Structure 1
Amino acid sequence: MVITKSRLVLGATAVTLSTIAVTSLGIHSRGQALFKESPKALVDDVWQIIYRNYVDGTFNQVDWQAVRKEYLGKSYSNQQEAYKSIREMLKKLEDPYTRFMDPQEFKNMQVDTSGELTGIGITISQDEKTKQLVVIAPIEDTPAFKAGILSKDVILSINGKSTKGMDTNQAVSLIRGEAGTQVSLMIQRNGQTRQFDIKRARIEIHPVRYSQKQTPAGNIGYIRLNQFSANAGKEMQDAIKDLEAKQVSAYILDLRGNPGGLLFSSVEIARMWLDKGTIVSTIDRQGEQEREEANGRALTNRPMVVLVDKGSASASEILSGALQDNKRATVVGTQTFGKGLVQSVRPLEDGSGLAVTIAKYHTPSGKDINKHGVDPDVKVDLTDAQRQDLWLNERDKIGTLADPQFAKAVEILRKKTAVRNTTTPVNN
């Protein structure tokens, strides 16, 4: 089965219901009844998906045929035994983004039709080197965000249970719960530990917020994008069209703390800003590249600055990298998170699911940002204390001249618009 672009995600685990799309298995036609008689079939299904689709044809130097022989040589009396073996099998790849989800875990990852999420509002990942659970970013205006959780925080324990050896699925199961109940996270930040007691909630997410800002650079359109969800493109289009009608002179696109989301959403939004050029290249196990290009339908060509930080991940890095490499925008802030892998999420016949790393992506200039991130054109660092004050204690300063990264963006745009005004002919 061909996996369409709309079914690809950029590999983070959200401790809400994650914005994710799925594709059908397309490998076996075995029915539900037969699976119940043979849990071993599920183990083989997972092995086959990895064998046919995993991004690294060497399976990260693992003898995948020997793995099949080992795990199909076992006897399985129930699904739980099969689940345990599948998790053991996948651990051999040492890829935290390729993971198995039992039916409840898989259900927890899917967005319901209302667009509301249940949880505390953080996106987490497992550090490939340390195996620790790390916060990619809190989602703005969620319980985790308001409690003070920051990007790169390490989760040491959940409700008193150590996360050592715990995968992201197990962590999600512990952190999730009924709205109104509480979860306790022990966080390590800069060598210090602190406990956060956070009340779970139902969360409605609108990915785009925008406004006009009167600045020394003129009337600027400020757009904050929190997440690359399925409706992000429509909301971004509406924002740009409204701000164009109000004749803003330039734009600041704020991707700080945006953990990513759907691949097609990042491409869709990039086309609103880029009239021509490559947006991203995805590279599969055969080394074949599939390029996404601008389509000549940009909504504006006005000067722009993109704001990023270490919480800007995956789809945020595709968008900022595309705008940077095509010299469409100046990128301001700090080095981004560094997640350059694409996952496909497959439902299995018993209601469980599998996320598989099927490709990596490069920016238009060919940069592989995995484990490194996008380097800003203009670096403006904030200390953790500054970030916490700005994003939690004095949030009314975000997107104002009291926000150091925004202020630098305005300074850059002031110069850009001055040059533009002197070189653009005026018709009287």
Structure 2
Amino acid sequence: MGLFMDKKVLRRVFSLLMALWLAWGAIPQPATALTEEQKLVSEVWRIVNRNYLDETFNHQNWASVRQKALEKPLKSQEAAYAAIQNMLKSLDDPFTRFLDPEQYRSLQVNTSGELTGVGLQIALDSQTGKLEVVAPIAGSPADKAGIRPRDRILKIEGVSTENLTLDEAAAKMRGPIGSLVTLLIEREGVDEQEFRVVRDRIALNPVISELRVTPQGTPLGYLRLNQFNANASMELAHAINSLEKKGAAAYILDLRNNPGGLLQAGIEIARLWLDSGTIVYTVNRQGIQGSFEAFGPALTSDPLVILVNQGTASASEILAGALQDNGRAQLVGETTFGKGLIQSLFELSDGSGLAVTIAKYETPQHRDINKLGIKPDKIIPQDVITREQIGTEADQQYQAAVEILTKNQVVVGMGNRA
């Protein structure tokens, strides 16, 4: 009997201990506080998680990427930055990238209209991962040295670009006015070539305009737009108004080797040419996010031809696609670069920055630009010409545009006489 009572007591004691143990497990335990470095990594992860265009995050479990990034102790700011870069690398998107505080400040300055360096717009080739020239800025040291769109930069000052981010490569090419930078360039069908480029101040004068007369006597407004900075729309509007007063009856808008810039500038410039119509759609991971419309009146209804080539990228492609799809312009030249992704810039808690691909562009007829580019109405290959030969008899694409506009003027003239 005594033995039976002992067992009963033991059961009760054991039950009580189990209840206490389970109750203790239910009480929230104090979580291990995240370090400042871990907080920064988590901050980046959350921004990408909320905003990134590809909801599959390059077909991977994005939560496990965060877990892996925080597994190892991050003992310094540099270690946190490296963890962030590795995390973003898994997305396989060169445009979603981390910017340290210096790079972030530099990127903010670059849209203001003046740079110091060699004057190259660069990108990472999505197929090969190589650093590629989108276009040299008109009149820049790189342009004068003969560097061309689609050239691949293999080395900067003897350092391989294979493992450099876009911002690291750009930082290596920037420097004091008058200093020299050596670039090893690979070009299709040509041996590797070394270019020695002297850095200089690069004035980003976005518009060149001139009234010309075709051989048939048509007054022609020639406009060359070099990039889409904050001044581009206003400068182009002034140029069009001036050419209208001088009697221009047709226009050529030269977007060759224009690497883009501010989206808003591209939209505003499209509105200068359109009375109405959609300019561009933006599409995020939920679908069509919004559209930008023209609301007129256009500054001119005269015939327009746009010149494009492989160096025509980003905002240039939006403008060209908008005017082509709306039947406002014919495109002449070569298929464009194919950069149709939208990045948003986020400032992080320590003064660094994060560029995230949040959406893509579609033309008014819902054509996807990214990696595909825009095909001209008339494809005209172009032999290599100097900047001085642009818009001359040596410029085959320009001559093709003049021919189209001249025929158009004849048809219009016959229609008026009838």
TM, length-normalised to structure 1: 0.87
Partner of 2:195: 196
Please list every run of 5 or more consecutive structure 1 residues that lacks an aligned counterpart in the other structure.
Answer: 1-33
Cα distance in 1 for residues equivalent to 2:300 and 2:112: 31
Residues 83-98 of structure 1: matches in 2 within 5 Å? Answer: 83-98=81-96
Shift in Å, 1:288: 2.5
* Equivalent position to 1:413, from 381, 405, 417: 405
Specify the code of the residue in structure 1 equivalent to 2:49.
Answer: Y
Residue 334 of structure 2 corresponds to residue 334 of structure 1: yes
**Do residues 361 (structure 1) and 373 (structure 2) align?**
no
How many angstroms does 1:112 deviate by?
6.4
Equivalent residues in 2 for 1:132-151, closer than 5 Å? 132-151=130-149
Give the equivalent residue in structure 2 for 1:390.
Answer: 386
1:114: how far off?
6.7
1:100 counterpart = 2:98 = yes
Secondary structure in structure 1 of the residue aligned to 2:182 = strand
RMSD: 1.7
More helix by percentage: 2
Q: Which amino acid aligns with 1:380?
A: I
Per the alignment, residue 221 of structure 2 pairs with: 221
User: Structure 1 residue 390: deviation in Å?
Assistant: 2.9
Residue 325 of structure 1, CA deviation:
0.9
Quick check: 1:97–1:355 contact (8 Å CA) kept in 2?
yes
SS of 2:296's equivalent in the other structure is coil
In the TM superposition, what are the counterparts of 1:9-408 in structure 2 within 5 Å?
A: 38-111=36-109, 115-191=113-189, 192-217=191-216, 218-382=218-382, 386-387=383-384, 389-391=385-387, 395=388, 397-408=389-400
Structure having greater relative contact order (Cα 8 Å, sep ≥ 6): 1
Moved more, 354-363 or 102-111: 102-111
Quick check: which has more Rg, 1 or 2?
2
Deviation at 1:257, TM superposition (A): 0.3
Residue 150 of structure 2 contacts residue 311 of structure 2 at CA under 8 Å; is this kept in 1? yes
Which whole-Å CA distance do the structure 2 matches of 1:118 and 1:345 have between them? Answer: 22
Distance 1:295 1:200 in 2: 43
CA distance in 2, matches of 1:113, 1:404: 32
| Contact 1:216–1:410 (8 Å) recurs in 2 | no
Q: Distance in 1 between matches of 2:317 and 2:112?
A: 28
Q: Which letter does structure 2 place at the counterpart of 1:390?
A: T
CA offset at residue 369 of structure 1? 1.8
Work out the CA distance in 1 between the residues paired with 2:394 and 2:193. 28
CA separation in 2, counterparts of 1:414 and 1:112? 40
CA distance in 2, matches of 1:135, 1:114: 21
Report the AA paired with residue 101 of structure 2: P
Q: Name the amino acid aligned to 1:214.
A: V
1:353, CA displacement in angstroms?
0.8
The Cα of 1:72 is off from its aligned counterpart by: 2.7
C-alpha change, 1:133 and 1:113, in structure 2 (3 Å) is closer
C-alpha deviation, 1:400, in angstroms: 2.5
Deviation at 1:62, TM superposition (A): 1.9
Give the secondary structure class of the aligned counterpart of 1:328.
Answer: coil
TM-score, scaled relative to structure 2 = 0.89
> Does the 8 Å CA contact 2:237/2:272 hold for their aligned counterparts?
yes
- Which amino acid is 1:57 matched to? E
Name the amino acid aligned to 1:422.
M
| Native 8 Å contact 1:131 1:165 kept in 2 | no
Quote the offset at 1:113 in angstroms. 8.9
Give the aligned partner of residue 16 of structure 1: none
- Measure the CA separation in 1 of the matches of 2:120 and 2:386: 18
Q: 1:425 deviation in Å?
A: 6.9
Partner letter of residue 412 of structure 2?
R
Deviation at 1:165, TM superposition (A): 2.2
The DSSP-based 3-state class of the residue aligned with 2:349 is: coil
Alpha-carbon spacing, 1:155–1:112, altered in 2? closer, same or farther (3 Å): closer
Counterpart contact for 2:111–2:261, Cα < 8 Å: no
Q: Following the alignment from structure 2 to structure 1, what is the Cα–Cα distance between the partners of residues 111 and 88?
A: 31
* Structure 2: 5+ residue stretches without partners: 1-32
Asked if 1 retains the 8 angstrom alpha-carbon contact of 2:65 and 2:87, the reply is: yes
Does the residue aligned with 1:405 lie in a helix, a strand or coil? helix
C-alpha separation in 2, matches of 1:203 and 1:85: 35
Q: CA deviation at 1:424?
A: 3.6
Contact 2:111 2:230 in 1 (8 A): no
The residue aligned with 2:26 is none
In the alignment, the residues of structure 2 paired with residue 116 and residue 390 of structure 1 have an alpha-carbon distance, to the nearest angstrom, of 24
Partner of 2:10: none
Query: Secondary structure of 2:40's match?
Result: helix
Cα deviation for residue 379 of structure 1 reads 0.8
Query: Any idea what the Cα deviations from partners look like across 1:289-328, whole Å, max 9, x if unmatched?
Result: 3111111221110001000000000111111111111111
Amino acid at match of 2:386: L
Output the CA distance in 2 between the equivalents of 1:301 and 1:216. 22
1 CA distance for matches of 2:111 and 2:65?
39
How far the C-alpha of 1:176 sits from its partner, in A, is 1.3
Matched-pair identity in %: 51
Question: In structure 2, how many angstroms separate the alpha carbons of the residues matched to 1:103 and 1:325?
Answer: 41
**Which residue identity is paired with 1:283?**
V
Q: Deviations over 1:336-368 (max 9, x none)?
A: 101111111112122211110000111111111
The one-letter code sitting in structure 2 at the alignment partner of 1:48 is R
Q: Which amino acid aligns with 1:123?
A: Q
- d(CA) in 2 for partners of 1:287 and 1:205? 36
Q: Deviations over 1:137-194 (max 9, x none)?
A: 0000000000000000001111111112222122112111111111110000014210
- Cα deviation, residue 252, structure 1: 0.2
Distance 1:110 1:178 in 2: 19
